[in-house]
Amino acid sequence: MIECLKEQKKQLSQRCHQRIFKLQEVEMSDPELDYQLMRVCKQMIKRFCTEADARNVLQCLKQNKNSELMDPKCKQMITKRQITQNTDYRLNPVLRKACRADIPKFCQSILNKASEDSELEGQIIACLKLKYADQRLSPDCEDQIRVILQESALDYRLDPQLQMHCSDEISRLCAEEAAAQEQTGQVEECLKGNLLKIKLEACKKEVLNMLKESKADIFVDPVLHTACALDLKHHCAAITPGRGRQMSCLMEALQDKRIRLQPECKKRLQDRIDMWGYAAKVAPAEGFSDLAVQVMTSPSKNYILVMITLSVCVLFLVGLLCGRITKRVTRDMKDR
């Protein structure tokens, strides 16, 4: 009965909704109180999580969700709990602890609008995702958001804002991909590929955010990462993942005529360049940090940096020359 109420949460009266939310908050803090999870995943907990602390059982199950030995019914239950956690940061104790300083720092405006009992529909996590793309989060928070991004990049249902704003477009443009039994990032790839066909502005904004996030970290773009896995190993093995570094490495390899990338990787990279070009026109950089990320992950990074350096040098020389002329004029005036 409680599981039924959880699934119909949006249709509940306000008072009942609040009670169910509070119950979920308690269960997420102590998964042993989550009867359905413990019942369905009993054998998997014995298999994977015997050494895990009782409060970390769900975290342990999430880490082993994609194991070949994972029971399908337990996997489905884990996904349901992940979907729930991503609707509100308060339902994810690990994220809440890791981002306790970042949330009020970057997302206070969202907290101000929400009441204590209202759910945030993934808005706080969406806010933190954008700051992740801007490389502004603390290390602990960045690690947790990276995990959420990687998981939601494979399964669109784990992104509440995307599902909320793009449900009609997914039904219209990506119905076949959404109907697949196993979600492997094909819905997200379909939305990116059909970016020009998306009519709803809110949905288009979510897809543009996805592109921005993948530009900052190739691991949150599973289709591109799979296509370029061999090339990453051969050409970018020494590059530390994250902050757009491996993406920049691949872009430089794409431009280098001496390097031959795998055909599928080359094609996917060219697709991304076209998408990023369109995204830059539709949603230009909002600030200096955003602009810096766009420059550092641009395929023309070296050219842009050279031009910026030359511009700075020219300005310096002009300033130096003007300073000398001004000093001469001042001396002439004094002599008179």
CA atoms within 13 A on the CB side of 278: 17
Taking the alpha carbons at both ends of the chain, their separation in whole angstroms is 98
> How far does CA 195 lie from the centroid of its chain?
18
Whether the model clears a pTM of 0.85, i.e. scores above it, the answer is no
Nearest residue to 58 via CA among 72, 36, 68: 36
Nearest-angstrom CA–CA distance, 317 and 137 = 38
Structure tokens at 314: 């020219």
Residue-by-residue pLDDT tens, the chain, 336 positions: 999 999 898 899 989 999 999 999 999 999 999 999 999 999 999 999 999 888 899 999 999 999 999 999 999 999 999 999 999 999 999 999 999 999 999 999 998 887 666 777 889 999 999 899 888 899 999 999 999 999 999 999 999 999 999 999 999 999 999 998 888 899 999 999 999 899 999 999 999 999 888 888 888 888 899 999 999 999 998 888 777 888 889 999 999 989 999 999 999 999 988 888 887 777 655 544 454 544 554 545 565 666 677 777 777 777 777 765 555 555 555 555
171-193 burial: b if 16+ Cβ within 10 Å, else e: eebbeebbeeeebebbbbbbbbe
Burial class (CB in 10 A: 0-12, 13-18, 19+), 284: exposed
Structure tokens at 90: 């308060």
Nearest residue to 212 via CA among 254, 244, 251: 244
**The pLDDT of residue 308:** 73
What would the 3-class secondary structure string for 231-258 be? HHHHHCCCCCCCCCHHHHHHHHHHHCCC
